[in-house]
Structure 1
Amino acid sequence: MSTNSKAPIGIFDSGIGGLTVAKAVAKALPNEDIIYFGDTARVPYGIKSEETVREYALQITDFLLSKGVKMILIACNTVSASAKNEIKEKTGSLPVLDVITSGTEMALSQTPNDHVGVIGTLATVNSKAYEKSIHALDSKIKVTQQACPLLVPLAEEGWIDNEVATKTLESYLSVFDNSDINSLILGCTHYPLFKKAIPSILKSDTIKIIDSADSIALTAKNTLNALELLNTEGGDFQCFVSDRPQRFQELAERFLGRKISDVVITHL
């Protein structure tokens, strides 16, 4: 584990969706340097096998370790479901946080909460990772899941508030009509881009929308504080991608709401 407080935090995702985590971390920890990697050449991960996802995730982990990071945040639900243990084995004592654990903890902190809804990629839903994570903490909670595979490509194209996005959300979220879910976990880091539209489609103002980006940012802050690794002098933000850097930068600046420096293409 790095004992250098000035070392960067490493964050990675299959594409641009993990920037929702990077944005939350930058807000919670404005003095931390962040290195973000988006695997834009191989997105989406949600339709790939667990074996393939693990291979990709470990390649990215090696890249982040080569950058001397002091912590790794898995900002991809599919990787969290498929490769979290393998990443932790490779990184040893280096803190590794994931969005599934953070999202679960935030959902269960809501009161009352005896029925949790989850939307995610096919891989995340099929793995039942959220269901397992929730039941590990409370076996009595009912979990209803819905795969939403089209939301990732819509988010990647910036189609988050048009008629196509609305109709797609309506179709996917209809499974929760007349349900008694207390909270809905956005089980993919692309999905917070649709956060404004989801409540009205759910036809309920009492369902809590769980954005694990906020939760993992808080966990990162608490972890670094406990390890006495908080940076007080940083704030740099670097982006690396495996393909399409100009397109990534265009969308990233839209999603982050600010300009970013050059996006560097990196072949793993």
Structure 2
Amino acid sequence: MLDQPIGVIDSGVGGLTVAKEIMRQLPKENIIYLGDTKRCPYGPRDRKEVLSFTWEMTNYLLSRHHIKMLVIACNTATAIALEDISQAVGIPVIGVVQHGARAAIKVTENQRIGVIGTENTIRSGAYEKALLSLNGDLTVENVACPMFVPFVESGKFLDETADEIVRASLYPLRDSSIDTLILGCTHYPILKEPIQRYMGERVNIISSGDETAREVSTILSYNGLLNKSALSPEHQFFTTGDRERFKKIANDWFGYDVKNVNSITIEKTAVKEY
């Protein structure tokens, strides 16, 4: 069981930012990544639909690849589906919201934190709840950035239009007094450089990837599930959308030619009413 893979799921390519950090911190672990690029973005979708899609990805990895741990590397899916899935499956499941909140609290000096995310993530109040549960004296400013995910998924994030997209989305925070900004969507770290340029060096930019990877390591170690094999890990990448576009974005983000990339179809899963 120790060499069974860690499953990482996302609405598209954004979770690659988390997968990359897990690979860096846990170089012996096998990773299976599934991005639902065909149905991305999840941000504007109905809650029940996001829950259903997240379950479909989870069941695919559980039934086909026998993962030993699941990382929901999507803030929208974490906010909506984490509790439901973690209570129902027999393996450790973690999301990304709590870890981003902890990281922000560690670095803020003036106790004013901004959160940017998809419409669903901001509407859920998941980050604000997580932040205030840890420190009730914080001031939290939330801004939805619905243009970011489609822009990243288009693969155009390396061109000069990134600054225009960032400027149009973040202007409500430009003159705020926040000293820390949480990138409340795993797609957003791909735009970290233009975001930092726009917000200025005075603002700490927080991605949940580092903290999430540390939590993965801690949980695997606690449960005796760390892979101790001397063999090189075998990573696999699946997308429900266009393989070539996914591969190009993965190559750009990882900085090398990513192998084992395949396009798949996942089955619909019935979801009970809540």
Amino acid at match of 2:41: P
Please show how residues 205-224 of structure 1 align to structure 2 within 5 Å: 205-224=201-220
Counterpart amino acid of 1:263?
V
The residue that corresponds to 2:256 in the other structure is 258
Q: Which letter maps to 2:252? A: R
C-alpha spacing 1:27/1:167, structure 2 compared with 1 (3 Å) = same
2:193 match: secondary structure: coil
Report which stretch shifted further, 206-215 or 170-179: 170-179
- SS at 1:267 equivalent: coil
CA distance in 2, matches of 1:240, 1:97: 20
Match of 2:105 among 97, 104, 108: 108
Contact 1:161 1:197 in 2 (8 A): no
- Which of these residues, 60, 74, 77, is aligned with residue 75 of structure 2? 77
Q: Which amino acid aligns with 1:237?
A: H
In the TM superposition, what is the alpha-carbon distance from 1:169 to its structure 2 partner? 0.7
**Aligned equivalent of 1:129:** 126
Tell me, in whole angstroms, the C-alpha distance in 2 between the residues paired with 1:160 and 1:154.
Answer: 7
What's the counterpart of residue 226 of structure 2? 230
Residue aligning to 1:245? 243
Shift of 1:254: 1.2
Once residues 264 and 258 of structure 1 are traced to their aligned partners in structure 2, the CA distance between those partners, rounded to angstroms, is 17
Matched residue type, 1:8: P
Change (3 A) 1:242 1:111: closer
1-structure distance, mates of 2:155, 2:251: 12
Which of the residues 2, 8, 27 maps onto 2:5? 8
1:41-80 alignment to 2 at 5 Å?
41-66=38-63, 67-80=65-78
Give the Cα–Cα distance (whole angstroms) in 1 for the partners of residues 79 and 11 of structure 2.
Answer: 13
Deviation at 1:230, TM superposition (A): 1.1
TM-score of the superposed pair, with normalisation by structure 1: 0.94
Please provide the CA RMSD for this pair: 1.3
Query: Post-superposition shift, 1:157?
Result: 1.4
Residues 238 and 264 in structure 2, CA contact (< 8 A), matched pair in contact too: yes
Q: Which runs of 4+ in 1 moved over 6 A?
A: none
State the partner residue of 1:182: 179
The number of residue pairs the alignment matches comes to 263
Relative to the length of structure 2, the TM-score reads 0.92
1:201 matched to 2:189: no
The residue matched to 1:196 in structure 2 has which SS? helix
**Contact 1:238/1:263 (<8 A) preserved:** yes
Q: Which moved more, 1:83-92 or 1:20-29?
A: 83-92
Identity of aligned residues (%): 38
Q: Distance in 1 between matches of 2:39 and 2:161?
A: 24
Consecutive unaligned residues of structure 1, counting only runs of 5 or more, are none
Q: Deviations over 1:170-213 (max 9, x none)?
A: 1222212232212100011110011112122113x222111101
1:89-109 CA-partner distances (Å, limit 9, x unpaired): 2213x1111111110111112
> Residues 29, 176 of structure 1: CA spacing in aligned structure 2 closer, same or farther, 3 A cutoff?
same
Contact 2:100 2:207 in 1 (8 A): yes
| Matching of residue 36 in structure 1 with residue 33 in structure 2 | yes
Deviation at 1:160, TM superposition (A): 1.8
The separation in 1 between residues aligned to 2:208 and 2:125, in whole angstroms, is 17
Tell me the distance in 2 between the aligned counterparts of 1:260 and 1:68.
Answer: 22
Q: Distance in 1 between matches of 2:108 and 2:180?
A: 10
Whole-Å separation in 2 of the counterparts to 1:121 and 1:153: 11
Out of 130, 137, 140, the position equivalent to 1:140 is 137
Distance 2:104 2:2 in 1: 31
The answer (yes or no) to whether the contact 1:116–1:141 under 8 Å persists in 2 is: yes
